[in-house]
Amino acid sequence: MTTEFDLLQQLRSIATDPAARGLLDDAAVLGDLVLTHDTIAEGVHYLPDDPPASVGWKLAAVNLSDIAAKGAVPAAALLSLTLRGDGEWEQAFLDGLAAACESYGLPLIGGDTIALPAGAPRVLGLTVVGRSDGRVPARSGGQPGDALWLAGTIGDSAAGLQLLGADPRSTGVLVDTYRRPVPLLAAGRALATGASAMMDVSDGLLLDCARLAGASGCGADLDLDALPLSSAFVAERGAGRAARLFAATGGDDYALLAALPAGLDPFTLSLPADARLTRIGTLAPGSGLALHDSGGAVPLPERLGHEHRTS
Amino acid sequence: MTTEFDLLQQLRSIATDPAARGLLDDAAVLGDLVLTHDTIAEGVHYLPDDPPASVGWKLAAVNLSDIAAKGAVPAAALLSLTLRGDGEWEQAFLDGLAAACESYGLPLIGGDTIALPAGAPRVLGLTVVGRSDGRVPARSGGQPGDALWLAGTIGDSAAGLQLLGADPRSTGVLVDTYRRPVPLLAAGRALATGASAMMDVSDGLLLDCARLAGASGCGADLDLDALPLSSAFVAERGAGRAARLFAATGGDDYALLAALPAGLDPFTLSLPADARLTRIGTLAPGSGLALHDSGGAVPLPERLGHEHRTS
């Protein structure tokens, strides 16, 4: 029996080049290039009745979020497209992908299109290449005492997905955020100039924060009350401890988590005017995650996020 | 009804960046980078009972062949891996992929691993990035009067596949060539310094030759008797007209087809000692493919190769 963990160990034993960053980062870094690839499968990463244009948008956006987390500028994409049935789904998927490419200046320059056997779930992949003209913060550069900052809000997407689970015809801001996340490219570029560590929040803030702290050889202390929630999220689920724990573990946020040296005021960086930047905690000596709110220490939930990715 | 052709037209309307080369080349060219991606699906591009290590080798080799055809040096790869069942297949697949990466100096630096629903066919993708320090010949640069040269032999892989179709336990050189093709990286680098056009032969020599000639706005005249066949191929299928047409349309060859200016002797280039280089024809004014052998004109077969790829 080979487990997913065994496979990841095997991949790490192959990917020994420094550019791979031990397969522990959002992206590979080859000179001034930042490279990432995400693959999604029907029924695993998206729902068969999700609008295909939104699936195309999201595939581009999640890859761009990895590029954003390294402070890079989108340079090129290669698409792996499967074709099944009459192609109408794929046509709408491409419309959504093209819209995201146009919105974020990402040229599609190649890829492959293959036919699938009837009934096989679609599998869609995108490689995105970015370019950096400066620092490319790793997950592992954090130091005890660094402040943890979050760009963006959390919980919207997970709340949107729950609404869709209750009623597939649900609409609104939260559903939109689940279907069409926005990669924080400009915020990422600004934060990268000062961050000692950075990553995007895709699998749940608590899990991703534990990963950043772990990679940096630190612990982390988070203030649950400080977590930035959107007004749409608060209107739907409130802002109490349960809602905040839901938001902190829901995933699919594509917010950016940055560790900044204690003396650095991020508002001195060239952040975009609409950036929502919030201090949510601190890296600490030692290891492990600690949570608190105004009521004192908060026990960690059993599940910190989605452990579905192996690289 | 959206056809595969419609989808390709849509992809071309999105991929307008010059780096995409109109999706008409083996690879995209971004500055000094050459980028390619191939995706393969179980039951479509390989047989479910093919040894998984050979599937991993072949996925790397076919991508490297695209890099070879542009005269570039392998720089990095990103793998899209699906995990189904107990992972033993994937473990052996990775062994084969790692062997090819090691053989050709291709560092694996990232990618994604996803779970698949039970019963779904595996879909495996690889993005390969190469670097060129010189000319990157397109398919479209050929001129009437250019000589057509082929590096490598043709037909071995198709003959091997037929042997496996008759008996899945077949072994031997032809089966090996089908399962573990060798990318002609050194020959590609040498030819790229002088070629006006170049591509790898993956879908059948006649089809790929028609593509190179068409992209160059030329016709092509090929000498069937000149086509290079291996001794293993000749031992299995003979060297008559039918065998040669089978070899010229079989595909999966990963030979290199280069158009060289008439005055250029390719043996003055820095070819590797074991390169097998054969003059097979000439680019001609006009359009279309013409075949001849010692008996005179040879009618074109109905099928020139495998039309399975859309980009």
Number of domains in chain A: 2
CATH of the domain at A231: 3.90.650.10
Binding residue numbers of B for ATP: 111-112, 139, 202
Tell me whether residue A308 is in a domain.
Answer: no
How big is chain B, counted in residues? 311
> Which of B115, B131, B147 is the last residue before a domain boundary?
B131
* CA dihedral over A276, A280, A285, A289, signed as positive or negative: negative
What strands, in cross-sheet order, belong to the sheet with B219-223?
B197-201, B255-260, B147-151, B277-284, B219-223, B288-293, B296-298
Confidence band, pLDDT 50/70/90 cuts, at residue A309 = very low
Q: Is 90 exceeded by the pLDDT of residue A118?
A: no
User: Do B128 and B106 meet the contact criterion of CB atoms below 8 Å apart?
Assistant: yes
Q: Which DSSP helix (H) or strand (E) runs through A182?
A: none
Tell me whether residue A105 is in a domain.
Answer: yes
Residues B49 and B145 in one domain: no
Residues B208 and B90 in one domain: no
Residues A235 and A277 in one domain: yes
Interchain proximity A107–B3, CB inside 8 Å:
no
Q: What is the pLDDT of residue A2?
A: 66
Residues B198 and B274 in one domain: yes
Residues A294 and A145 in one domain: yes
Interchain proximity A94–B35, CB inside 8 Å:
no
User: Do B40 and B55 meet the contact criterion of CB atoms below 8 Å apart?
Assistant: yes
Q: What is the C-alpha to C-alpha distance for residues B39 and B267, in angstroms, rounded to an integer?
A: 35
Would you give the end-to-end CA distance of chain A in angstroms? 20
Cβ-Cβ pairs closer than 8 A, A with B, add up to 243
Tell me whether residue B104 is in a domain.
Answer: yes
Confidence band, pLDDT 50/70/90 cuts, at residue A308 = low
Q: What is the mean pLDDT of residues A108-126?
A: 94
Tell me whether residue A306 is in a domain.
Answer: no
Residues A150 and A114 in one domain: no
| Run means of pLDDT, 10 residues per run, chain B, 311 residues | 81 96 93 96 90 98 98 98 92 98 98 91 97 95 98 98 95 96 97 98 97 97 98 98 98 97 93 94 98 96 78 36
Interchain proximity A82–B41, CB inside 8 Å:
yes
Tell me whether residue A310 is in a domain.
Answer: no
What strands, in cross-sheet order, belong to the sheet with A33-41?
A28-30, A33-41, A123-131, A73-83, A108-115
A108 CB neighbours in chain B (<8 A) are: 11, 14-15, 17, 20
**A107 CA: distance to closest CA in chain B (Å):** 6
> Which of A70, A97, A131 is the last residue before a domain boundary?
A131
- A62's tokens: 């999640």
Confidence band, pLDDT 50/70/90 cuts, at residue A311 = very low
Q: Is 70 exceeded by the pLDDT of residue A310?
A: no
Q: What is the pLDDT of residues A249-305, one digit of tens each?
A: 999 999 999 999 999 999 899 999 989 999 999 999 999 999 999 999 999 999 999
Residues B21 and B113 in one domain: yes
CATH of the domain at B80: 3.30.1330.10
User: Do B52 and B92 meet the contact criterion of CB atoms below 8 Å apart?
Assistant: yes
Q: What is the C-alpha to C-alpha distance for residues B34 and B24, in angstroms, rounded to an integer?
A: 14
Q: What is the pLDDT of residue B112?
A: 95
Establish if A105 touches chain B: CB-CB under 8 angstroms: no
Q: What is the C-alpha to C-alpha distance for residues B304 and B199, in angstroms, rounded to an integer?
A: 16
Residues B118 and B167 in one domain: no
> 3-state SS string over chain B?
CCCHHHHHHHHHHHCCCHHHHHHCCCCEEECCEEEEEEEEEECCCECCCCCHHHHHHHHHHHHHHHHHHCCCEEEEEEEEEEECCCCHHHHHHHHHHHHHHHHCCCCEEEEEEEECCCCCCCEEEEEEEEECCCCCCCHHHCCCCCEEEEECCCCHHHHHHHHHHHCCCCCCHHHHHHHCCCCCHHHHHHHHCCCCEEEEECCCHHHHHHHHHHHCCCEEEEEHHHCCCCHHHHHHHCCCHHHHHHHHHHCCCCEEEEEECCCCCHHHCCCCCCCCEEEEEEEECCCEEEEEECCEEECCCCCCCCCCCCC
Tell me whether residue B305 is in a domain.
Answer: no
Residues A171 and A239 in one domain: yes
Residues B162 and B105 in one domain: no
Tell me whether residue B311 is in a domain.
Answer: no
> Which of A77, A108, A131 is the last residue before a domain boundary?
A131
Tell me whether residue B304 is in a domain.
Answer: no
Residues A228 and A82 in one domain: no
Interchain proximity A87–B111, CB inside 8 Å:
no
User: Do A251 and A306 meet the contact criterion of CB atoms below 8 Å apart?
Assistant: yes
Compare CB distances from A2 to B88, B97, B129 and report the shortest one's residue.
B88
Q: What is the pLDDT of residues A243-263, one digit of tens each?
A: 999 999 999 999 999 999 999
- Write out the residue range of the structural domain in which residue A59 sits: 4-131
Residues A90 and A183 in one domain: no
Q: What is the pLDDT of residues A217-251, one digit of tens each?
A: 999 999 999 999 999 999 999 999 999 999 999 99
